[in-house]
Structure 1
Amino acid sequence: MNVVDRNPAQWATLAGCKKVLVVVHTEVYGRRLRDVLPLLESDLRVQVAFTVAPHAFNGGALRALRGVGEAVLPWEEAVRTEFDLALAAGSQGTERLRAPLVRLPHGAGHVKLSRVADARTPGEPRTVGGMGRSYLMWGDRVVPAAYAVAHEEDLALLRVTCPEAVPITEVVGDAVHDRIAASMPLRERYRLALGLRQGERLVLVSSTWGLGSSFHRLDALLPRLLAELPGRGHRIAVLVHPNVWSGHGDWQVRAWLAALRRRGVVLVSPDTDWRPLLVAADWVIGDHGSVTLYATMTRAAILLARFPERDVNPDSPGAELARTAPALSLAHPLDRQLAYAAAEYPAEAYARIAARISSEPGRFNANMRRLLYRLLRLGEPAHEPVTAPLPDPRPLGEGGTADASPDDWSELPA
């Protein structure tokens, strides 16, 4: 009887590749890492594998990995395997990896404070999410080989919250910032792709996750928007953080908003790229999530529906936005509030806040590729890395942008 050799090298077409492991904890983390992957494209010296690391919001991680096929390794196999480099936007389980790790932030501006439940010891003071010892160290060891942050302010914050990580921290910029900036000239094209009619305005309602999010107010806000805004002059789209979808389930999120969707509100699918919608929006009604902060880069007027001050880093650009942007009022007509936000707070008013997202604007790809190839001990490819504009969105109301009815089981993701 012939015995099959289970050694993968037996069947390799390319030998001697540097092996890179992409560690996806959640859908949001996976999206962050997808912006890095083009820097490794077309290089036959590098082979990439993926794995899903432990996390409370694992549910959406597989959605972020659609299309990678057999390259997804089981977590226990991934931590037993040697790699030349690993990439992650989260910390859970990364101390087990057998590879130099590059950590990235998973949002903009380090706005949120750590949850009390995340403290390793009872009574531990809250720190800025992603920036404390509990996120970057295991015992007395700094876990990442490199921490790639967006702004010089992040480096200054680390000197206070985790000075042990300062020597391995590099300011590389922010990929989402650069993609949005590169896409701003395509705003009218995106609006056309979304199906917006001439003169029609897009109101994008955005919610992060957690008890302080604006999701708690959607049942009051959305009916008012439908009732008070001219029906043929406005489109309303709702962007819900993937952790809400993962934590409560896709069917449940659709069901909670079903009555409003039947009246014309578009619920943006969690696997839709929200960034073209942000570029196309006329107004953003948001909270302390990253989407609202990125809106400061666009032509959208901003209103804050909710801002839980006690859960926010007071020195962050998000906190500065809360001190600057108008707050949504329950006592005044919404159409007047939208008009006020657009007239009194034009895009130029947010330029200083937007500048705090990245201190390396337009240079994320160059800086990040240099870091990756240095750790891989390879020379960089002999071409400039290009920051591509975002792809055209699907029309509002189609499968990739608006979800199926909650009673249409055949349309639900597997």
Structure 2
Amino acid sequence: MMESRSGAVARQYRTVVERRTVLAVAHTVTYAKRLIDVLSQLEGDFRVQVVFTAPPHVFGREVPAFLARLGCSVLPWQDAVRTEFDLALAAGRGGVEHLRAPLITMPHGAGYLKRVTGLRDADTNGVAGMRRSDLLPAGRAPAAVVLPHEAELAELARLCPEALPYAEVVGDPVHDRIVASLPLRRAYRRALGLKPGQKLVVPVSTWGPQSTFARFEALLPRLMFELPGDTHRTALLMHPNVWSRHSAWQVRAWLPRCRQAGIALVPPEADWRSVLIAADWIIGDHGSVTLYGTLTKAALLMTGSPEGEINPASPAAALAEFAPALSASHPLLEQLKYAAGERRTEERAAIAARITSEPGRFAGNMRRLMYRVMGLSEPAHRPVTGLLPEPPSLGALTGTRRGAA
């Protein structure tokens, strides 16, 4: 593909003169993390150079620092839209119609869980990720629309049939990495610093006024005063959008007693998936992380299920009907015990199976798709689903040594 003049000038200073250049469009930290999972399938190939860009986004404040910590090559957005690439990857839609590259779009969470209603522009209402404005931004056809489950083909045909010719059922990278890493549960618990016999409670929150964190003032005292500190530890997982919109300083200023009570706040840059695997209980809402929790051994409790915000055709809707709801009028320990006994394994497995119809095959499917779009042959080795890294210790996250092994 042709380069801009500035690109041609820069080319003479490179050591590795690649044959293909890929642009990763990281609107938010959440989107960036999904792209990192995908881009792992290009590792080791000297024929491919990956460049990141961060378009303007209401939740994009933390993206530059996140990419800097990873040591990524970052192109300013105003330069990215003037440069030609061989492939662009995006987990969000903002501004992607201006890119000069074949575009592959993908969901940034567990499929298409949320419904958007009540907005003035009719095109922005509907199932997030399945709207015409998501799939065909400014009417532009992508190279491919990545879907995690074959059932979403029917949804796509109903909601945006124009995008159906570009649909590719590829799978879900987070699903596959969690499942592959389940045998490491003991190692993750050791890394967290849990003592033998200690239980880990993980409250989980998406973002927005219907999230767990929006009602955290009611839940926090129960976590602090109803759970015995010698037998139970707590690690709070919040959507990166909460940190980005309100700032890390403000989040910590809202929760000054958490560290004193030994409650860990897992920062947005940490990998939450290993914490989820280590959990004994997940207290969650209608976000993707709670749904991914169905893949683990943790018992589930729901803090709420706003019908207006949940896509009724999604596994999140099924989970809201399946998992016990947290009650304000019963002791928390009693409810945790009840949830642990209400496994209903077959029903839970059926919900988890709705995350992807390509379990364990995302790496191979996605690599095949990217190389096909780039016009390159695949490397001569099997694609790999990477194991998740160990989480930081709870002591490091709370500033204490309590619970250390």
Smaller-chain TM-score range?
Answer: over 0.9
How far 1:189 moved relative to its partner? 1.1
- Whole-angstrom CA distance in 2 between matches of 1:166 and 1:31: 26
- Whole-angstrom CA distance in 1 between matches of 2:129 and 2:345: 29
**Unaligned 5+ runs, structure 1:** 405-414
How far 1:136 moved relative to its partner? 1.6
Classify the secondary structure of the residue corresponding to 2:158: helix
Whichever residue aligns with residue 128 of structure 1, its letter is V
- Whole-angstrom CA distance in 2 between matches of 1:5 and 1:178: 37
- Whole-angstrom CA distance in 2 between matches of 1:73 and 1:403: 36
- Whole-angstrom CA distance in 2 between matches of 1:251 and 1:378: 46
Q: How is 1:39-188 mapped onto 2 (pairs within 5 angstroms)?
A: 39-69=41-71, 71-114=73-116, 116-117=118-119, 121=121, 123=122, 126-142=125-141, 144-188=142-186
How far 1:394 moved relative to its partner? 1.6
- Whole-angstrom CA distance in 2 between matches of 1:198 and 1:347: 25
Classify the secondary structure of the residue corresponding to 1:22: strand
Task: Spell out, residue by residue over 1:139-168, the C-alpha distance to the aligned partner (whole angstroms, 9 max, x if none).
Answer: 4433x2111110012221111111111100
Q: How is 1:13-412 mapped onto 2 (pairs within 5 angstroms)?
A: 13-69=15-71, 71-114=73-116, 116-117=118-119, 121=121, 123=122, 126-142=125-141, 144-345=142-343, 347-398=345-396, 401-402=397-398
RMSD, matched Cα? 1.8
- Whole-angstrom CA distance in 2 between matches of 1:131 and 1:402: 39
How far 1:114 moved relative to its partner? 2.3
- Whole-angstrom CA distance in 2 between matches of 1:387 and 1:30: 18
**Unaligned 5+ runs, structure 2:** 1-5, 401-405
Asked whether the 8 Å contact 2:149–2:171 carries over to 1, the reply is: yes
How far 1:261 moved relative to its partner? 2.5
* TM-score normalised by length of structure 2: 0.94
**Cα gap change, 1:170 to 1:249, in 2 (>3 Å):** same
**Cα gap change, 1:240 to 1:282, in 2 (>3 Å):** same
- Over the matched positions of the two proteins, sequence identity in percent amounts to 56
Classify the secondary structure of the residue corresponding to 1:59: coil
Asked whether the 8 Å contact 2:97–2:138 carries over to 1, the reply is: no
Asked whether the 8 Å contact 1:238–1:266 carries over to 2, the reply is: yes
How far 1:348 moved relative to its partner? 4.6
How far 1:218 moved relative to its partner? 1.4
- Whole-angstrom CA distance in 2 between matches of 1:258 and 1:346: 38
Asked whether the 8 Å contact 1:108–1:290 carries over to 2, the reply is: yes
Asked whether the 8 Å contact 1:269–1:402 carries over to 2, the reply is: no
How far 1:68 moved relative to its partner? 4.7
Task: Spell out, residue by residue over 1:73-113, the C-alpha distance to the aligned partner (whole angstroms, 9 max, x if none).
Answer: 10000000000000110000000000001111011031101
- Whole-angstrom CA distance in 2 between matches of 1:80 and 1:35: 26
**Cα gap change, 1:188 to 1:246, in 2 (>3 Å):** same
